[in-house]
Amino acid sequence: MVRVHGVARVLEAHLRWYRRNWRATAISSVLQPLLFLLAFGLGFGSLVGARAQEATGGADYLVWLAPALLAMSAVQTGAFEMSYPVLAGFKWRRTYEAMTATPVEPGEVALGQLAFVTAKSLLTGAVSLVVIALFGGVRSVGVLGSLVAAVLTGAAVAALVMAFAATRQDEGTAFNAVFRFVVLPMTLFSGTFFPIATLPGWVQPLAWVSPLWHGTELARWAAGVGASDLVLLHLAYLLVLVGIGSGLSMRFFTRRLTA
Amino acid sequence: MPGMGEGLVVARGLRKSFGAFEAVRGIEVEVAEGEVFGFLGPNGAGKSSTMRMIACVSPRSAGELSVLGRDPDREGPRIRARLGVVPQLDNLDIELSVRENLEVYGRYFGLSRRHVRAKAGELLEFARLTDRADAKVDALSGGMKRRLTIARALVNDPDLLLLDEPTTGLDPQARHLLWERLYRLKREGVTQIITTHYMDEAEQLCDRLVVMDGGVIVAEGSPAGLIERWSTREVLELRFPSDAAPPVAELQPHAERVELLPDRVLLYVPHGERAQAAVHAAGVRPLSALVRRSSLEDVFLRLTGRTLVD
């Protein structure tokens, strides 16, 4: 059973915590996309120059890159925020146990956590977007749509990682494995820095399953620098992942918190 | 025979299994309004599993259970709205301030911000933490954290307070302060259920208690009643040199029961000093002798089958 007010109460507690502790992560979560923007958008972008426009459909490399960076950043935030912090909620801080001693139900704890991480990635995404705009990476108000697409992509990954984290008894090497063998390849081969069409044919199916590829395509379309033909498919794929991740998380949270 | 729903908590044939392991093996419990009820027993006796079922965070495996007149399986959130829970290990948010812990927790119950703010001030006073209100929880002592956890459990003015080993790990001074606070709550009419493996705690706090061992209830009654039923009025404790076997045969005629412990011999007797004189007259010369009142500890030794000589 999940009630909206239960989820809202959990979200409120997280936000209250964040209000006190936001400084610890704020710099890094905005700095990271900024570094990529500088290195690739300006550094690498100046190198590829006009040639890149063959691949980007005529857009500046920086403008083409910006929406994808938003999506990439949201995915990394989502994955990280659902790894150690979720295990901490079960095991070290044991805040989940405290929450479920009240009328709040385990499924609401899970969805509240997802709502918080999503809100956080919206916030840091919005700040990143402003910074990107200052560097000239924005040409259209459509990037606001890119931000929404990015946040949705982050939520899809976050929900899945949360479900995984809820099954872990200790961190071991599991989270590092997720970062190295799932998140890192995903950021490299989801069309963020170059179109996946330039990859060998046998690699491309990997991109098709990657939520980040779908999110990147969606974000680019919204910013007016991408194709529109598969938009509904991308959207549906991400929503389905959010649904699967949330459903599994709710089940695993319930199992773990009501032994 | 009282029916379901008369007591604040009524359990009939209550069981809890984890896979093949049965932690609680069919217990009958009834807790009346306004009473302080204790679950006493060693680690692994099934106390915490029972508490988790009453707290509506662990579904029962079999039997009947009613908490505040409702079924935890069907109305968990509604029951939990009226409970205060003090877990065995503090789960305060150490990254928030003392006051924030109370306010955030109150909001889980759907209480208004204004109500929670006022309530927090009142509870800080109760927990004697007013001057630490804005400190981070991380910086508090163990006793302060425990008081804060209890204060937090009162944020919704619960009908029933559940305390799982409330003073484990605290120093004597902190324990006494905590007992005093719990006694105050009792006077205010807050029904409490306490688990403990400290006999003195159970004697201090509980109106009525059950002794659990191996998932079953082995005795039930008031602390004084249990002592009367299962022990003698006094206990004569004798110590003997460690290199010689204590003269158990000579002691036996002078006591209702003799308990042989690794470091001493306990004689259960109606009159300690008379027994001491009798033992002396019989020619037994212990290293030291001590007469004390019987305690729940003695009841426990008797009930859990660790009696060596009966």
pLDDT tops 70 at residue B308: no
* In the predicted structure, residue A31 carries a pLDDT above the cut 80: yes
Residue B229 scores a pLDDT above 70: yes
Tokens representing residue B267 in the block: 């004689």
* Percent over 70 (pLDDT), chain A: 100
Phi, psi of B224 (to 5 degrees): -65, -40
Question: What pLDDT, on a 0 to 100 scale, did the predictor assign at position B263?
Answer: 82
The pLDDT of residue A100 is 97
Contact A17 B95 (CB under 8 A): yes
Does an H or E element contain B15, and which?
strand B9-18
Using the beta-carbon criterion (under 8 Å), do B100 and A21 form an inter-chain contact? Answer: no
The residue type found at B263 is D
In chain B, what residues touch A259 (CB-CB under 8 Å)?
A: 18, 58
**Between β-strands B62-67 and B234-239, what pairing exists: parallel, antiparallel or unpaired?**
unpaired
pLDDT value at position B305? 62
Nearest CA in chain B to A21: B95
**A157 or A20: whose pLDDT is higher?**
A157
Residue B309 in this model has a pLDDT that exceeds 70? no
pLDDT of residue A125: 94
- Chain A hits for B58, CB-CB cut-off 8 Å, are 258-259
Residues 6+ apart with CB under 8 A from A49: A61
Which CATH code of 2.60.40.10, 3.40.190.10, 3.30.470.30, 3.40.50.300 fits the domain covering B9-221? 3.40.50.300
Q: Which residues, 6+ apart, have CB-to-CB distance to B245 below 8 Å?
A: none
Read off the pLDDT band of B5 (50, 70, 90): very low
Taking 50 as the threshold, does the pLDDT of residue A113 lie above it?
A: yes
pLDDT band for position A89 (cuts 50, 70, 90) = very high
Q: Which residue do the tokens 């083409």 mark?
A: A64
User: Which residues of chain A have a CB within 8 Å of the CB of B85?
Assistant: 101
pLDDT at position B245: 82
Surface of A (172-211) touching B: CB under 8 A = none
Over residues A163-179, the mean pLDDT reads 92
Domain ranges (residues) in chain A: 4-257
Kindly tell me if the per-residue pLDDT of B3 is higher than 70. no
- For residue A254, the distance in angstroms to the closest alpha carbon of chain B comes to 10
- List the single best residue of B82, B93, B156 to mutate versus A (max A Cβ within 10 A): B93
Listed by start position, the domains of chain B span: 9-221, 232-294
Contact B38, B31 (CB under 8 A): no
Would an 8 Å CB–CB cutoff place A253 in contact with chain B? Answer: no
Q: Does residue B48 belong to the interface with chain A, where contact is any CB pair within 8 Å? A: no
List, in sequence order, the alpha helices (H) in chain A. 4-21, 23-36, 45-56, 61-81, 84-87, 95-100, 106-134, 143-165, 174-178, 184-188, 204-209, 211-223, 231-257
pLDDT digits (tens, 9 = 90+) for B162-214: 999 998 888 888 889 889 999 999 999 999 999 988 888 898 899 999 999 99
Model pTM score? 0.90
Query: A95 and chain B: CB distance < 8 Å anywhere?
Result: yes
Give the total residue count for chain B: 310
How many residue pairs from chains A and B have C-beta atoms closer than 8 A? 70
Cross-chain Cβ contact B57/A101 below 8 Å? yes
Q: Which residues lie below 8 Å from residue B274, measured CB to CB, with a gap of 6+?
A: none
Q: Which of A6, A17, A97 sits opposite B91 (nearest CB)?
A: A97
Task: Summarize the confidence of residues A125-130 as an average pLDDT.
Answer: 93
pLDDT at B156: 97
Range with the lowest mean pLDDT among A17-21, A70-74, A216-220?
A17-21
What single letter denotes the amino acid at residue B258? V
- Are the C-beta atoms of residues A22 and A123 closer than 8 Å to each other? no
B39 has which bridge partners? B195, B210
Buried b (16+ CB within 10 A) or exposed e, A68-84: bbbbbbbbbbbbbbbbe
Which residues in chain A have Cβ-Cβ distances shorter than 8 Å to B97? 20
Check CB contact under 8 Å for B109 and A102. yes
Give B167→chain A minimum CA distance, Å.
18
Alpha-carbon distance of A146 to B170, in angstroms, equals: 55
Confirm if A93 and B94 have CB atoms less than 8 A apart: yes
Contacts of residue A95 in chain B, CB cutoff 8 Å?
Answer: 91, 93
Q: What is the rounded CA–CA span in Å between residue B47 and residue B38? A: 10
Q: Give the pair of three-digit tokens for residue A209.
A: 């399953």
pLDDT band of B74, cuts 50, 70, 90: very high
Rounded Cα–Cα distance for residues A215 and A148 (Å): 10
Per-position b or e across A116-126, b if 16+ CB within 10 A of its CB? bbbebbbbbbe
Structural contact between residues B143 and B171, judged by C-beta atoms closer than 8 angstroms = yes
- CB-CB contact of B50 with B24 (8 Å): yes
Q: Does A16 touch chain B (CB under 8 A)?
A: yes
Which residues in chain A are closer than 8 Å to B94, comparing Cβ atoms?
A: 93
Q: How many CA atoms lie within 13 A of A126 on its CB side?
A: 6
Contacts of B81 in chain A (CB under 8 A): 102-103
ipTM of the complex: 0.90
Give B 3-22 residues with CB within 8 A of chain A.
18
Q: Which amino acid is at A108?
A: E
A255 touches chain B (CB under 8 A): no
- Mean pLDDT for A165-190 is 92
pLDDT at A44: 83
Q: What tokens were used for A101?
A: 């001693």
Comparing A242 with B248, the larger pLDDT belongs to A242
Residue A38 pLDDT more than 80?
yes
Q: Highest-confidence range of A152-166, B187-201, B238-252, B288-302, by mean pLDDT? A: A152-166
Would you say residue B2 has pLDDT above 70? no
What's chain B's Rg over C-alpha atoms? 23
How far is it, in rounded angstroms, from Cα A40 to Cα A191?
Answer: 13
A9: nearest CB among B80, B94, B107: B107
CATH architecture for residues B232-294: 2-Layer Sandwich (3.30)
In angstroms, what CA-CA distances link A88 with A93, A109, A165, B88? 5, 13, 10, 18
* Average pLDDT value for chain B: 91
- The answer, for B94 touching chain A at a CB cutoff of 8 Å, is yes
Digit-coded pLDDT (tens) for B55-64 = 999 999 999 9
Worst-scoring range by mean pLDDT, A88-97, B94-103, B295-304?
B295-304
DSSP state at residue A183: I
